[in-house]
Amino acid sequence: MSTFKEGLQDVVAATSSICFIDGDRGVLSYRGIDIHELAQKSTFEEVCYLLWFGKLPNRKELDRLTEDLSRNRTVPEEVFHLMRLLPRDANPMDVLRTAVSALSFYDPDRDANPSDAEANLRKAYRLTGQIAAIVAATDRFRKEQDTVPPDSSLKHAANFVYMLTGKKPSPTAEKAFDVALILHADHELNASTFAGRVTAATLSDIHSAVTSAIGTLKGPLHGGANIDVMRMLIEIGEVSKVEPFLKSALASKKKISGFGHRVYHTEDPRATHLRKMSRDLCESSGNGKWFEMSRIIEETMKREKNINANVDFYSATVYYTLGIAVDLYTAIFAVSRISGWTAHILEQLGNNRLIRPRAEYLGPKYPASYVPMAER
């Protein structure tokens, strides 16, 4: 009997010790530690350590990792050169996918065996540092600006903003970014992580696995939703137009970006933090209307469809009020999710078996006849 489940819904496809989600209770935890606690008390660097090593770092371990990440923010000039040749209007996720693929040529551990755990960990550090630098450079190249060299005195979140804008962020903006990075760092077997694990499980290399993951994150049903949310808000334009817009969209059975989730049947715990951040940032920057519009959309979706906001809904207005170009939002998701992708790839390689499911065959009955060319 077929056990096929459309979209692999609720199918358990791996064992993992990284991320625990309870979709009915709205629980998300990394290595068992609740996301609310991590968002309030930790930093992105600490979360990287937790995801990669399975425990919170002590002071010495954290300092060491912070230094390692900081040292790995340099992108080979050849990759920047390649990026400068790409179309100025290219989708930043396409640029990121191409640049990460190109990084593999210049990685000092390029020829390491896929089962070399130390080399894999070094690649995880390097990719985490370099992806932030690539996303920042993507925005600068298309504005005909030079790259901003990394500042080793800054933590990952602040340095990313610095390399993007050339200005050190305010403490509020740094904190907002850091929390956004923590919230996006991992999410069990989401589509991009699964794609990365499938690639890694063939014993291909980590750059190939991360390139697969980036291509998967780009889609509007996954990470691409945060861009569509902001474009929708801009299209709606003002508070009074929210209700008619939604009425018409729902009547024509359109999906509203930033709502719904395959796993959560209640509030996405990441949305809880992002909603608060969005409210604070929108109000303090004189952009209250974006939060007000978002709030009405959320209330209407709950009332009309009983569907909750997901991680992408309020992250859109958070990034918007921080002055980030709308089409960069999904790439910023990748700046964080690289930590989770690499944690999962390392876990996969630590106990690997090829991932190769089956399909339920629905084609012509076997054996179908081969009709000669002249008779077709």
Interface ranges with ligand COA (CB under 6 A): 7, 221-222, 225, 255-262, 305, 307, 310-312
Identify which of 18, 5, 6 has the alpha carbon closest to the alpha carbon of residue 196.
18
Q: How far is the CB of 183 from ligand COA (least distance, A)?
A: 12
Query: Token pair of 179, please?
Result: 């929390």
Q: How far is the CB of 307 from ligand COA (least distance, A)?
A: 5
Max Cα distance, the chain (Å)? 76
> Least distance from C-beta 256 to ligand COA, angstroms?
4
Q: Output 103 or 227, the one with its CB closest to ligand COA.
A: 227
Q: Which is nearer to ligand COA, 24 or 283 (CB)?
A: 24
CB nearer to ligand COA: pick between 139 and 268: 268
Q: Is 68 a catalytic residue?
A: no
Residue whose tokens read 């991009």: 192
- C-alpha span between 155 and 67 (Å, rounded): 9
User: For ligand COA, which is the closer residue by CB, 26 or 57?
Assistant: 26
Listed residue (176, 99, 181, 102) closest to 138, CA to CA? 99
Catalytic one of 68, 107, 312, 327: 312
Residue nearest ligand COA by beta-carbon distance: 260
Rounded to a whole number of angstroms, the minimum distance from the CB of residue 263 to ligand COA is 8
* Minimum CB–partner distance for residue 248 and ligand COA (Å): 13
Instruction: Considering the complex, state which of residue 9 and residue 351 has its C-beta at the smaller distance from ligand COA.
Output: 9
CB of 366 to ligand COA, least distance (A): 31
Rounded Cα distance between 194 and 345, Å, is: 9
Helix (H) or strand (E) run with residue 27 in it:
strand 27-30
| CA–CA separation, 150 and 154 (whole Å) | 8
> Rounded to whole angstroms, how far apart are CA atoms 268 and 45?
23
**For residue 293, what are its two tokens?**
């519009």
| Beta carbon nearer to ligand COA, 200 or 225 | 225
Q: Concatenated DSSP letters for 127-170?
A: HHHHHHHHHHHHHHHHTT-PPPPP-TTS-HHHHHHHHHHSSPPP
**Closer residue to ligand COA in complex, CB, 54/260:** 260
Q: Do 188 and 48 form a contact (C-beta atoms < 8 A)?
A: no
The answer, yes or no, to whether the previous bond of 367 is cis (omega within 30 of 0) is yes
Beta carbon of residue 337, minimum distance to ligand COA (angstroms, whole number): 12
Distance separating alpha carbons of residues 267 and 265, to the nearest angstrom: 7
**Cα-based angle 275, 281, 287 (whole degrees, multiple of 5):** 105
Q: Out of 184, 187, 207, 261, pick the active-site residue.
A: 261
Classified as helix, coil or strand, 174 is helix
Whether 156 is catalytic is: no
Active-site residue list: 261, 312
